[in-house]
């Protein structure tokens, strides 16, 4: 395992050459912006001060950088990693492009669609499953996608009953604040208990919710219910959000956004402190270098906020969000090449199983690629355990090779995609979307609409943060 939890393909650590950095960052796409390998050459080359500093070169930070650049502002982006993208991370397995982080988008995600159009990028549809393996009374059983889909639709109509009212306007999650008090405190486990789900119904629901929540006790009912309503209020519409793939991978829009921004992107620049003094923010990078600007946009995962020093200290509502976290506590994406099954079979397991969800991908001459989301019960550094977990779902399958990314172990994510904890909606939104002094907060985790698990939300949050930053910068 490398320190990033990347279990089969160690990446180079230590010295990073300009060439490798440019490659990692998408050199051709970023050619118009300046990319530096370390903070040491990040000072404004023309001697003019920066108008804004953006911390984090993920989708939220990239959106802010482009929007501020469009206003003629001079922007410095400080990125902790040696690459852009954050929780979007392209990779390869068996010579195929894979996404170790976010990869899909779908209908209703209009901001992503608008960016694809802006950069003339096409999309492809993901593989459709031809068979579904689901928990049965005596082990796993096969169903047609239509049969399994109908049962899932019915189970989740009950599970999310009432959400069409409490999320009457899903893009404005607090519109029916009056109805939320009784539901926002519920975890997904509470909701399962409330419905007294048992047997196969329990297994079908608990697996489907825990895969999105990283555990049914930590994920909130309203977190998932909001996504369900954003998607159109049926389970098959919700699943269709994971149906399309952007040309060139999920990173391709961001590469173009950063190029268009004209911002200086300083890689390998982890920010350790943000201090506000004399009408300026002083942003300190590991190693001691300090950059100044009238405004700083913190576009890191919420789970990273507690690792930074703030002067003055963050008010309680931000400190609470930082302490509780928003990124799910377990998020492992596992890519596999499998022989022995040429069928496009998908599989779902109950909470507690080693693999919670297995999704068929491309058929190659020498096996099929699958992508899986695992639970804490599977140690992905143990190839025997991975093989056994796959065989548990597909007895005929033989794993040839695999690659896993454990986002909860990633030092600059400290969690997976975002999903609110019980009570966080009412206690923390919209307060944590507001600036504190000269610090503006951005990130998919704190979006109003497609928050947490979607690039769409990172874009939404980035547009809002850019407005706030432009106002503060005067
Ligand atoms: C396994 C997985 C699967 C997902 N699947 C999908 C999907 O299919 N579709 C979809 O739309 N979304 C998906 N998502 C969610 C999506 O990836 C995120 O919502 C989105 O990328 C968040 O963007 P962001 O800019 O808010 O945060 P991030 O992408 O996390 O960007 C934040 C940046 O801040 C940097 N940073 C952190 N700390 C510091 C510091 N101290 N100093 C400087 N920089 C710092 C990080 O390195 C990172 O580059 C998935 C996420 C995961 C983890």
Distance 280 CA to ligand 1 centre (A): 27
| Closest protein CA for atom 21 of ligand 1 | 87
At 199, list the tokens.
Answer: 């047997």
What residue's CA is closest to ligand 1, atom 48?
A: 86
pLDDT at 332: 98
Looking at ligand 1, which atom is closest to the CA of residue 444?
A: 26
Q: With CA atoms as reference, report the closest residue to 274 among 287, 288, 266, 284.
A: 284
* pLDDT single digits (tens) 359-403: 999 999 999 999 999 999 999 999 999 999 999 999 999 999 999
Rounded to the nearest angstrom, the distance between the alpha carbon of 252 and the centre of ligand 1 is 14
pLDDT of residue 4: 31
Atom of ligand 1 lying closest to residue 100 CA: 1
Please, what are the domains in the chain? 2-86+249-327+415-473 (3.50.50.60), 149-241 (3.90.660.10)
Residue 328 contacts residue 218 (beta carbons within 8 Å)? yes
Mutate to test the pocket of ligand 1, among 66, 79, 291, 300 (most ligand atoms within 8 A of CB): 300
List C-alpha distances in Å: 407 to 148, 334, 368, 414: 30, 11, 24, 7
User: What's the CA-to-centroid distance between 250 and ligand 1, angstroms?
Assistant: 11
pLDDT for res 474: 87
Task: Tell me how far the alpha carbon of residue 221 lies from the centroid of ligand 1, in angstroms.
Answer: 22
Tokens describing residue 115: 């960016």
Calculate the alpha carbon distances from 292 to 35, 284, 411, 439 in Å.
Answer: 19, 9, 25, 12
Å from CA of 287 to ligand 1 middle: 24
Ligand 1 centroid from CA 164, angstroms: 29
Look at residue 13 in the predicted model and tell me its pLDDT: 25
- The closest-lying atom of ligand 1 relative to the alpha carbon of residue 242 is 8
Q: How many CB atoms lie within 10 A of CB 172?
A: 12
Question: Ligand 1 mean position to 56 CA, how many Å?
Answer: 9
Average pLDDT over residues 85-114: 97
* Candidate of 56, 66, 285, 361 to mutate for ligand 1, largest count of ligand atoms within 8 Å of Cβ: 56
- Alpha-helical segments (H) within 56-214: 59-70, 110-118, 145-159, 163-166, 177-184, 188-194, 199-213
Q: What is the mean pLDDT of the chain?
A: 91
Tell me the pLDDT band of 7, cut-offs 50, 70 and 90.
very low
Rounded distance from Cα 58 to ligand 1 centre (Å): 6
pLDDT confidence of residue 158: 98
Using CB distances shorter than 6 Å, the residues near ligand 1 are 55-61, 78-81, 86-88, 101-105, 242, 270-271, 299-301, 304, 331, 333, 407, 412-413, 416-417, 443-444, 453-455, 457-458
- Ligand 1: residue whose CA is nearest its atom 2: 101
Could you give phi then psi for residue 206, rounded to 5 degrees? -65, -35
> Is the pLDDT assigned to residue 259 strictly greater than 90?
yes
Q: Which atom of ligand 1 is nearest to the CA of 304?
A: 38
Looking at residue 25, its pLDDT comes to 37
- Rg (the chain; Cα; Å): 22
pTM (two decimals): 0.93
pLDDT digits (tens, 9 = 90+) for 171-209: 999 999 999 999 999 999 999 999 999 999 999 999 999
Atom of ligand 1 nearest to the CA of 57: 49
């Amino acid at each position: 395992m490398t320190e990033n939890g990347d279990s089969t393909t160690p990446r180079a650590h230590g010295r990073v050459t300009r060439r490798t950095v440019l490659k990692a960052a998408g050199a051709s796409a970023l050619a118009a912006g300046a990319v530096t390998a370390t903070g040491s050459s990040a000072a404004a080359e023309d001697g003019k001060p920066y108008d804004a500093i953006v911390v984090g070169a993920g989708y939220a930070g990239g959106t802010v950088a482009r929007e501020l650049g469009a206003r003629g502002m001079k922007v410095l982006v400080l990125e902790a990693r040696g690459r852009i993208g954050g929780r979007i991370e392209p990779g390869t397995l068996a010579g195929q492009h894979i996404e170790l982080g976010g990869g899909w988008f779908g209908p209703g995600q209009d901001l992503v669609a608008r960016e694809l159009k802006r950069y003339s990028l096409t999309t492809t549809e993901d593989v459709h499953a031809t068979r579904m393996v689901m928990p049965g009374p005596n082990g796993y059983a096969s169903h047609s996608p239509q049969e399994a889909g109908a049962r899932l639709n019915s189970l989740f109509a009950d599970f999310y009953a009432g959400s069409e009212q409490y999320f009457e306007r899903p893009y404005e999650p607090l519109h029916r604040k009056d109805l939320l008090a009784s539901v926002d405190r519920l975890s997904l486990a509470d909701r399962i208990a409330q419905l007294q789900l048992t047997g196969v119904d329990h297994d079908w629901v608990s697996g489907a919710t825990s895969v999105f929540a990283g555990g049914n006790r930590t994920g909130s009912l309203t977190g998932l219910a909001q996504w369900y309503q954003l998607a159109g209020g049926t389970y098959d519409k919700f699943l269709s959000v994971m149906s399309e793939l952007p040309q060139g991978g999920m990173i391709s829009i961001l590469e173009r956004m950063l190029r268009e921004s004209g911002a200086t992107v300083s890689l390998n620049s982890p920010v350790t402190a943000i201090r506000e003094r004399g009408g300026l923010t002083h942003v300190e990078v590991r190693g001691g270098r300090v950059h100044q600007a009238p405004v700083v946009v913190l576009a890191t995962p919420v789970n990273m906020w507690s690792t930074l020093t703030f002067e003055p200290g963050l008010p309680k509502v931000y400190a609470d969000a930082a302490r509780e976290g928003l990124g799910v506590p377990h998020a492992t994406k596992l890519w596999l090449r499998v022989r022995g099954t040429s069928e496009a079979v998908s599989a779902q397991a109950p909470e507690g199983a080693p693999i919670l969800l297995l999704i068929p991908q491309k058929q190659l001459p020498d096996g099929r690629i699958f992508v899986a989301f695992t639970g804490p019960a599977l140690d992905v550094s143990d190839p025997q355990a991975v093989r056994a977990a796959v065989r548990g779902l597909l007895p005929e399958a033989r794993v040839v090779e695999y690659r896993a990314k454990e986002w909860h172990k990633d030092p600059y994510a400290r969690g997976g995609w975002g999903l609110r904890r019980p009570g966080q909606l009412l206690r923390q939104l919209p307060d944590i979307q507001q600036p504190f002094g000269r610090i503006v907060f951005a990130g998919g985790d704190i979006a109003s609409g497609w928050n947490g698990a979607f690039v769409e939300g990172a874009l939404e949050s980035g547009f809002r943060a850019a407005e706030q930053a432009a106002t503060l910068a005067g």
